[in-house]
């Protein structure tokens, strides 16, 4: 693909998975459109009927074609890609000068293994803890510790920033958010134990890793919720510019948690047993 075409991303403000793609797009310096889809209440019928047909999940990326508005069906001549990690690999290919993946084959493999660990180990522990599905404190901390062990002594997941970091950071940011919001499905002593542990020398490397990511313009552009446990006091004034976006993210997350506690609906597609109130 010799020329960059129009990029349209379908996403949801409170989901970490479209956030992964936005980080990659910002790091690439790409121009792109976003069409927001609500995950809290029923998604619009047109999304599953005309866009991500029969699936309806976000993120979904359309490459090429004319400008899309909500309710439009992408042209069949466009390239359409789903799944955040796959989308980011696609972006690394169409923006080679952005170096979203290293050129060295060994480092590319390491980046992919890091992202794989995030989805195979850290994501289940995160979801199990945050949504009251039985992950104990030490289970969550062990998953974060495993992530930390994969980091080099300095820098990002493979030294220079890559889409491996885009895989991890949206989940780490939302863990901090939830620890602040203190939803009722997480026992207060459990949340306090996690906060205390993450502030301890045991997690000094993940603390620095998170702070380094937060300091990047891509994070400031895509995540304006700046009250973070990991990087308190290390943010620049330019990154404090949008309290309105921060409030919107918090409000969406709070709504999702409230509905989960009442109905067991995690999003429009997934229902779990109603969490037991601690």
pLDDT digits (tens, 9 = 90+) for 181-225: 776 667 778 989 999 999 999 999 999 999 999 999 999 899 854
pLDDT digits (tens, 9 = 90+) for 15-40: 899 999 999 999 999 999 999 998 76
* Range(s) of the chain covered by CATH 1.20.1050.10: 105-263
Question: Averaged over 124-150, what is the pLDDT?
Answer: 93
Backbone angles phi, psi at 231, to 5 degrees: -125, 30
> Given pLDDT bands bounded at 50, 70 and 90, which one contains residue 260?
low
Distance (Å, rounded) from C-alpha 264 to C-alpha 84?
A: 25
Check: CB of residue 9 under 8 Å from CB of residue 35. Answer: yes
Per CATH, the number for 105-263 is 1.20.1050.10
Burial zone of 222 (CB within 10 Å; 0-12 exposed, 13-18 middle, 19+ buried): buried
d(C-alpha 130, C-alpha 124), whole Å: 10
Instruction: In whole angstroms, give the CA distance from residue 158 to residue 9.
Output: 26
Query: How do residues 218-235 score in pLDDT, each as one tens digit?
Result: 998 998 544 333 333 333
Structure tokens at 93: 């290919």
What's the pLDDT at 109?
98
pLDDT band at 237 (very low <50, low <70, confident <90, very high): very low
Where residue 239 falls among pLDDT bands split at 50, 70, 90? Answer: very low
What CATH code is assigned to 7-98? 3.40.30.10
- Residues of the chain within CATH 3.40.30.10 domain(s) are 7-98
Q: What's the mean pLDDT in 96-115?
A: 98
Cα separation, 188 vs 107, in Å, equals 40
Rounded Cα distance, 278 and 234, in Å:
34
């Amino acid at each position: 693909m010799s020329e960059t075409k129009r990029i349209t991303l379908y996403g949801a403000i409170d989901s970490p998975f479209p956030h992964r793609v936005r980080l990659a797009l910002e790091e690439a310096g790409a121009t792109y459109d976003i069409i927001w889809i609500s995950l809290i209440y029923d998604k619009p019928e047109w999304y599953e009927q005309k866009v991500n047909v029969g699936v309806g999940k976000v993120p979904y990326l359309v490459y090429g074609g004319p400008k899309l508005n909500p309710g439009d069906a992408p042209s069949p001549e466009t390239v359409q890609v789903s799944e955040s990690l796959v989308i980011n690999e696609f972006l690394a290919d169409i923006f080679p000068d952005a170096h979203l993946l290293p050129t060295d084959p060994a480092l590319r493999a390491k980046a992919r293994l890091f992202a794989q660990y995030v989805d195979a180990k850290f994501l289940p522990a995160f979801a199990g803890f945050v949504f009251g599905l039985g992950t104990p404190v030490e289970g969550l901390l062990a998953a974060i510790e495993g992530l930390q062990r994969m980091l080099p002594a300095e820098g990002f997941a493979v030294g220079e920033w890559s889409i491996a970091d885009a895989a991890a950071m949206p989940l780490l940011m939302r863990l901090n958010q939830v620890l602040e919001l203190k939803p009722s499905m997480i026992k207060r002593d459990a949340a306090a134990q996690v906060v205390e542990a993450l502030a301890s020398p045991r997690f000094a490397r993940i603390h620095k890793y998170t702070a380094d990511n937060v300091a990047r313009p891509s994070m400031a552009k895509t995540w304006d919720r700046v009250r973070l446990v990991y990087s308190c006091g290390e943010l620049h004034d330019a990154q404090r510019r949008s309290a309105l976006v921060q409030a919107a993210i918090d409000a969406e997350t709070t709504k999702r948690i409230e509905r989960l506690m009442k109905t067991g609906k995690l999003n429009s597609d997934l229902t779990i047993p109603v969490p037991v109130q601690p």
